[in-house]
Structure 1
Amino acid sequence: MHNLKELIIWKRAIALATNVYQSTKDFPAEEKYGLTAQIRKSAISIPSNIAEGAGRNTNKEFNHFLGISNGSCFELQTQLIISKNLGLIGGEADSLLDELDQLQKMNYSLQNTLR
């Protein structure tokens, strides 16, 4: 089991999810159950899967949940790009996408360490 509160990747994923919620608060009402909900679900999934993996008994299990977390990163990346293309999100999309790139690199690095 890993100490979740010491994992920098988890802390950064929490910050990203918080920023995503703030960035999507002004999305149109008709997107409440569509794109807004899907973006937020993906963003929450990233730190949640890191946390679940950290609480498992083996590095192999942790690695599995890091893989799921990384899949959520790619899902969120796609949704943010679509939101940007639709004009629903402005310049903050670029900083969110940059942070996602950093999280993906950290994730791959941690997965390699656990193997």
Structure 2
Amino acid sequence: MDFEKLIVWQRSKCLAVDVYRKFARCGDLGFKDQITRSALSVPSNIAEGMERYSDKEKVRFLWIAKASCGELRTQIIIAREIAYIAEPLAEKWITDTRELSKMLCGLINKISD
């Protein structure tokens, strides 16, 4: 299966683009680096996993993507609390990361069966 056709990859890629755009001018380079790396890690690990040969390897990278999604959600919550992003955007991204985590669980379960 081509990873580009996966809705979970498409949505996580769009979220990573949004995060990069939002933090492009952020002066806090440490925070900017951390949140953009987390956002980039989700679709990247989905892609890498789906390109692997064995189902075991695919699932391993999907779990890494799910973990990165949790890391990203944590950073979004912190960004909201320190006023780097507004409440409506934070809530949208938090919802997105929760939905992506559920989608990843579903894909992991499908591949594991």
The question of a shared fold, defined as TM-score above 0.5 by the shorter chain, is answered with yes
- Superposed CA deviations along residues 2-57 of structure 1, whole A, max 9, x for unmatched, are 31121111111100101111222343x1x11x111100000000000000001000
1:96 and 1:26 map into 2 onto residues whose CA distance is: 19
Matched residue SS, 2:53: coil
Report % sequence identity. Answer: 38
Specify the code of the residue in structure 2 equivalent to 1:73.
Answer: C
Aligned to 2:93: 96
Query: Contact 1:23–1:92 at 8 Å: present in 2 too?
Result: no
Are positions 1:74 and 2:70 aligned together? Answer: yes
Query: Which residue does 2:12 correspond to in 1?
Result: 13
Q: Which runs of 4+ in 1 moved over 4 A?
A: none
What are structure 1's unaligned runs of at least 5 residues?
A: none
How is 1:14-53 mapped onto 2 (pairs within 5 angstroms)? 14-27=13-26, 29=27, 31-32=28-29, 34-53=30-49
TM-score of the superposition, structure 2-length normalised?
A: 0.93
For the 8 Å contact 1:13–1:103, the answer to whether it is kept is yes
Structure 2 portions without partners, runs of 5+: none
Report the CA distance between 1:70 and its aligned residue: 0.5
CA contact (8 A) 1:77 1:100 kept: yes
For 2:7 and 2:54, the matched residues in 1 are separated by 19
RMSD of aligned C-alpha atoms? 1.0
- State TM-score, norm by structure 1: 0.92
